[in-house]
Copies of this chain bind each other. A is one copy, B any other.
Amino acid sequence: MDLECASQETVKQGLLARGWPPIKGFSKHVKTKVFEFFSHLIKLGQDDPRRVVHSLKAGLALTLVSLFYYYQPLYKSFGVSAMWAVITVVVVFEFSVGATLGKGVNRGLATLLAGGLAVGAHQLANLSGRIGEPIVLGFFVFLQAAVSTFVRFCPQIKARYDYGLLIFILTFSLISISGFRDDEVLELVHKRLLTVLIGGSTCVIISVLLFPVWAGQDLHNLIASNMEKLGIFLEGTHLHYQLLKKQCMYLVTGSGICLQGLEMNTLKCQRMESPKKIDPSCRVIKVFLTPKPTKMPWWANFARWEPRHGRFQFRHPWRQYLKIGALTRKCAYRIESLNGHLYADIQAKREIRSKIQETCTTISMESGKALKELSMAIKTMVQPFAADIHIENSKSSVKNLDTLLKSGLWDDETDLLEVVPVATVASLLIDVVTCTAEIAESVNELATMLKFEVVEPTVSPEKTETGQPKIGIS
């Protein structure tokens, strides 16, 4: 054995001495992977420091509940049942208050209900003698598991009570089966319910009192910031359009940031070496096309469990938020489509494009401003009057565009092929205005539901470059 070990050692040393490439390569690969993993973790913490706080809160809750084992008087009352408190904390403690509350309430109610029913099942099974008892119990367990599992497929129930049904199956099975070996079923139910309540309330209290994370607040912010990003993008689009027209190679030389509008708002965008290399679908739009918005329905579900906090009441209209979110997403797809055609458009003759250029710019600017105002209205919970004015401006510009086209501004020699891309851009821009108006309408509905504060907008006499009056909330 020693000899074998020694020889293995010699081989290993020999390999290391010769710097055997596969081993060296492998250890380097592992080092890189580990380094990448840790830097990724650090980035996760930096992106949202609430994650670090949540981890510490989870550790604290678990440590608190484990006192039931360490502290003799507590252990005397509960014994090994204290285990259920520990399990409850591990399973129930979630990132947001809503999720924690939802799981806690589900677990508590399901334990109570299933415990009660299991005691009933135990009593019934007791009547059927020592041989009949396991058969009756087995039948009950099978029946409730099958029925509850099936009910979990119901989307409305799955959304709010899925965890409760799981705990119902678990508790009913455990209590009714345990009843076969242990006649003190009532005490079992009592202890389990009490420990679950202790574990659950520990989670809820820590979750609410120590740096609470409200799912509703997150949903509210996400909806507003998505809308703002679209607004910034639309405002930037006209700049981009003009830049392309003038064949500017760089907006910012050197580091090469995409759009001025975006850069000012510190949004990251793709590096552009030259206009030809620009990816038509900029990252800002991609934000909406990634699966992130799919989290919204979850957040809305969690938010529905949350009590009154800050500016949010208990029965806050979270569904309206989802409606606004869906419309914003639709608008993002429209803008993406428009964005693609903007690049086809630059192939059109400058004279043709320049004829509708200004009106298109105004429409894009006004829609962008409207979206930004709507976002601000949601953020500050103020009536979106300013946005309505911008919407009206963009609609009247659409009418101007219409008149411009009807007035036969084009001469008879215009090549129709060159008109097509410009006309397409105009049509798609009109689509974006329609979509923006839809968003404004749903935000107005939200404002009515929540009785947003009324702050009259002030129209300053100062004019913008497009000749439209500048509008701002005083």
Contacts and interface: CB of A to CB of B under 8 A. Distances in A.
A174 B87 contact: yes
A250 interface: no
Nearest to A168: B90
Interface residues of A, number: 77
A420 B174 CA distance: 70
Given A40-B154, A91-B166, A180-B70, A149 B417 contact: no
A427 interface: yes
Q: Which of A55, A145, A173, A341 has the most CB of B within 10 A?
A: A145
A417 B424 CA distance: 12
Interface in A30-66: 40-41, 44-45, 51-52, 54-56, 58-60, 62-63, 66
A59 B149 contact: yes
Interface SS of A by simple majority:
helix
B149 A58 contact: yes
A408 interface: yes
Nearest to A150: B55
A421 interface: yes
B153 A44 contact: yes
A126 interface: no
Contact of A146 (B56, B169, B405, B416): B56
Nearest to A179: B69
Interface string A143-182: 1011101110110000000000010011001100110110
Copies in the complex: 2
Interface in A403-443: 405-406, 408, 410, 412, 414-417, 419-421, 423-424, 426-428, 431
Contacts of A177: 66, 69-70, 86
A62 B294 contact: no
A312 interface: no
B62 A180 contact: no
Interface in A204-259: none
Contacts of A90: 145, 166, 169-170, 173
Contacts of A428: 424
Given A59-B145, A86-B170, A416-B419, 12 more contacts: A59-B142, A63-B145, A66-B137, A66-B141, A69-B180, A87-B170, A90-B169, A91-B166, A289-B330, A291-B297, A341-B427, A402-B417
Interface of A: 40-41, 44-45, 51-52, 54-56, 58-60, 62-63, 66, 69-70, 75, 80, 83, 86-87, 90-91, 134, 137-138, 141-143, 145-147, 149-151, 153-154, 166, 169-170, 173-174, 177-178, 180-181, 289, 291, 294, 297, 330, 333-334, 337, 340-341, 344, 402, 405-406, 408, 410, 412, 414-417, 419-421, 423-424, 426-428, 431
